[in-house]
Amino acid sequence: MTTSVFDIWVYLSARPLLWLTATLIAYVIADAIAEHFNRPAILNPVPMAAGALIIILSVSGTPFSTYFEGAQFIHFLLGPATVALAVPLFQHIGPVRRNLLPMAGALVAGSLTAIMTAMGVAWALSLPLPVIISIAPKSVTTPIAMGIAETLGGIPTLAAVLVILTGILGATLVTPLLNLLRIKDYAARGFAVGIAAHGIGTARAFQVNEMAGAFAGIAMGLNGALTAFLLPLLLWLVL
Amino acid sequence: MIQALALLLGSQLAGEAVVRFLGLPVPGPVIGLVLLLGLLFVRPATANFLKPVTDVILKNLSLLFVPAAVGIIQHLGLLGEYGLQILLALTVSTIVAMAVSALVFVGLSRLMKRRGGAEKSAP
């Protein structure tokens, strides 16, 4: 009796190895495509790789839980990667110290704008209140956004989806937008994308310029803290 | 490379422990970042062996978001009938927030330079 291709598939598709490898390959291809076209913002490797994997999972009827058994090893690295931000931060501490006032101003203005415009548009389009609350923390990292949504009467899982979508939007729009506004300072560019588009925006910043990445990382951290503090206050004022 | 990984994970572990111990409302890795930054100030040479590893991680930070991005298929149904409105709200808000952040940053930075220049040129 010979083992058929189908049997091999059944065996492998249930192992972490297959989906771990598939995630790496999808990313390597997506990144190579982006590199080939000189990394235009529109060709962001995150949606390209995730889109391909989503298609593969749907076609093969693989549940997400099976996929994540392999992909969790990559997902886990988000923790050490956050710690790793200390190194570029340390190396660009000079520009960071010189820009404390611009950072503070941009943080408060950007954080408030992100929250209020999201809620304002959602409200104007007459979305239900739990959805409006889930949109509000969309610019901060997933764990913080989910926590905020849960405490304030939003839908945590919806908040998580909106965070990812916002990150992809921000990382895709940042370069054309800031070119249009003629902003050349990499500190300002990185800081802006870090505020509006958290880690996925920071990832984009690191692919363009290390100093932009360092500032994006700081902005992401500060906006997470500020949003967690501001949003309950704002909701209390508005509602 | 292994030293660098051990130091990164060790910082994260210490960060998680501090968060649990003090009941802080921030993620453990963020405290890990602060602890590692403190260590770098005390021993700047640590950056030399960390740098090659952190460079690789941070240059490929996008990879680490792929599993979470794939995860949105589970919940796309949540967007449901409001999908278009939600997408519009996200797009408008993200554009305006980035523009405002960058413009305020650059504006304040110019203001500081002008003042700094004025002070220097004063007799």
Query: What secondary structure, in 3-state letters, does A166-209 show?
Result: HHHHHHHHHHHHHHHCCCCCHHHHHHHHHHHHHHHHHHHHHHHC
Q: Would the CB atoms of A89 and B28 count as touching at under 8 Å? A: no
**Chain B residues with CB-CB distance to A31 below 8 A:** 60, 62-63
Positions in chain A whose pLDDT score sits under 50: none
Closest partner CB to A174 (pick from B62, B96, B98)? B98
pLDDT tens-digit map of B55-107: 999 999 999 999 999 988 887 777 778 889 999 999 999 999 999 999 999 99
Q: How far apart are the first and last CA of chain A?
A: 70
B contacts of A58 (beta carbons < 8 Å): 73
Q: Please tell me the predicted confidence (pLDDT) of residue A102.
A: 96
B6 interfaces chain A, CB cutoff of 8 Å: no
Find which of A29, A82, A92 to mutate to test the B interface (most B CBs within 10 Å of its CB): A82
Q: Mark whether B99 and B58 lie in a shared domain.
A: no
With an 8 Å Cβ cutoff, are A121 and B103 in contact? Answer: no
- Residue ranges per domain, chain A? 5-76, 83-238
Which residue's entry shows tokens 């599993």?
B67
CB contact under 8 A, B27 and A71: no
As a whole number of angstroms, the distance between CA A191 and CA A212 comes to 7
* Euclidean distance between CA atoms B123 and B103, whole angstroms: 32
Residue A74: the pLDDT is 93
d(CA A80, CA B60): 13
Among B19, B34, B64, where does a domain finish?
B64
Question: How many domains does the structure of chain B reveal?
Answer: 2
Residue B120 has pLDDT above 60, yes or no: no
Q: Does B31 touch chain A (CB under 8 A)?
A: no
Whether residue B29 and residue A118 make contact (CB cut-off 8 A), yes or no, is no
Domain boundary residue, one of B14, B35, B64: B64
* Among the partner residues A44, A114, A225, nearest to B97 by beta-carbon distance: A114
DSSP 3-state of B6: helix
Q: Are residues B56 and B7 in the same domain?
A: yes
Write out pLDDT tens, residues B67-80. Answer: 999 988 887 777 77
Angle CA(B28)–CA(A149)–CA(A231) in degrees, nearest 5? 85
Q: For A89, which residue in chain B has the nearest alpha carbon?
A: B37
> B109 vs A95, A102, A103, A185, B114, CA distance in Å?
11, 6, 9, 10, 9
Same domain, B4 and B58: yes
At B79 the pLDDT is: 79
Domain containing residue B52: 1-64
Contact by Cβ (8 Å): A224, A196:
no
Q: Do B11 and B50 fall within a single domain?
A: yes
ipTM of the complex: 0.89
Pair B122, B82 in one domain: yes
Indicate the burial class of B66 (C-beta count within 10 angstroms; 0-12, 13-18, 19 or more): buried
Q: For A71, which residue in chain B has the nearest alpha carbon?
A: B67
Which residues on chain B are in Cβ contact (under 8 Å) with A80?
A: 5, 8-9, 12, 29, 57
Helix axes B46-59, B28-42, angle to 10 degrees: 140
- Written as one string, the DSSP assignment of B15-77 is HHHHHHHHT-SS-HHHHHHHHHHHHHHH-TTHHHHHHHHHHHHHHTHHHHTHHHHHHGGGGHH
> Cα B117 to chain center, whole Å?
32
Same domain, yes or no: B84 and B101: yes
- Indicate whether B123 pLDDT > 50: no
pLDDT value at B119 more than 60: no
Chain A contacts in chain B segment 53-112 (CB below 8 A) = 53-54, 57-76, 78-79, 82, 85-109, 112
Q: B42 CA to chain A: closest CA distance, Å?
A: 11
Cα–Cα distance for residue pair A200/B120, rounded to 1 Å: 41
- Partners of A49 on chain B (C-beta within 8 Å) are 63, 66, 69
Cβ(A186)–Cβ(A209) below 8 Å: yes
Q: Do B86 and A45 lie within an 8 Å CB cutoff?
A: no
* DSSP string of B81-118, one letter each residue: GGHHHHHHHHHHHHHHHHHHHHHHHHHHHHHHHHHHHH
Residues 6+ apart with CB under 8 A from A75: A68, B64, B67, B68
Distances (CA, A) of A111 to A70, A93, A198, A206, A224: 35, 23, 11, 21, 9
C-beta atoms of A200 and B65 within 8 A: yes
Chain B hits for A228, CB-CB cut-off 8 Å, are: 25
Tell me if B11 and A155 make a contact (CB, 8 A cut-off).
no
Q: Which residue, A239, A221, A20, A140, is CA-closest to B34?
A: A221
Residues B60 and B80 in one domain: no
What value does the mean pLDDT take over residues B36-44?
A: 95
Provide, rounded to the nearest whole percent, the portion of chain B with pLDDT above 90.
70
- Look at residue B114 in the predicted model and tell me its pLDDT: 85
**pLDDT score recorded for residue B122:** 45
In chain A, the residue whose alpha carbon lies closest to the alpha carbon of B98 is A192
Q: Do B75 and A158 touch (CB under 8 A)?
A: yes
